[in-house]
Amino acid sequence: MSYRLQTLSEEEEYNWTGDRKPGRDIIIAVDHGPKSKHAFDWALNHFCRAGDTLYLVHSVSSTKNSIVYDVSQTLMEKLTREAAKVAMVKIVSRIVEGDAGKAICKEAEKVKPIAVVMGTRGRSLMQSVLQGSVSEYCFHNCKAAPVIIVPGIVEAGEESVASLDKR
């Protein structure tokens, strides 16, 4: 293991941004629920920085179903507009077909992001085992990047992303 230690006098200031690439690639997995919206908001406010590229990934069972595709496209447009307002980032929206966990991990393999951010419904361990959990699947199977699971603190009365147009 090697490391580089720099010694600076009191008058000198260390340049922490030294050789870092100006922008990072980040995947945010989204769906129509409030827990997903909470993870999206958390990522924009606490994780993303100017110059990053956000890949918003939404999985659908079939892109051939025009109703599902249209609703998903509306969701992605809303989130893209919100991300553009809140953070100075480049946004790439992707609607992918297939099982959500597998599709998210496949996108991570393609993009090679610094992280995959997603929400969780807060199911118990037993519920996750019996019903399956996308966040649990990604946590164990996504090898391309660390998975950040944002715990859901959204209260039961809060709105989902789909209900935001009704305001």
CATH architecture of 25-154: 3-Layer(aba) Sandwich (3.40)
Q: Which of 9-13, 40-44, 92-96, 156-160 has the lowest mean pLDDT?
A: 156-160
Mean pLDDT (whole number) for 18-33: 81
Q: Where are the domains of the chain?
A: 25-154
Query: What pLDDT band is residue 58 in, cutting at 50, 70 and 90?
Result: very high
pLDDT of 52 above 70: yes
Tokens 């609703």 identify what position? Answer: 71
The encoded tokens of residue 38 equal 């909470």
Query: What pLDDT band is residue 140 in, cutting at 50, 70 and 90?
Result: confident
* DSSP percent split of the chain into helix, strand, coil, nearest 5: 40, 20, 40
> Residues 110, 25: contact at Cβ < 8 Å?
no
pLDDT tens per residue across span 59-113: 988 888 889 889 999 999 999 999 988 888 999 999 988 899 999 999 999 999 9
pLDDT of the residue at 165: 46
**CA angle (97, 98, 101) in 5-degree steps:** 120
Task: List all residues 6 or more positions away from 165 whose beta carbon is below 8 Å from its beta carbon.
Answer: 74, 78
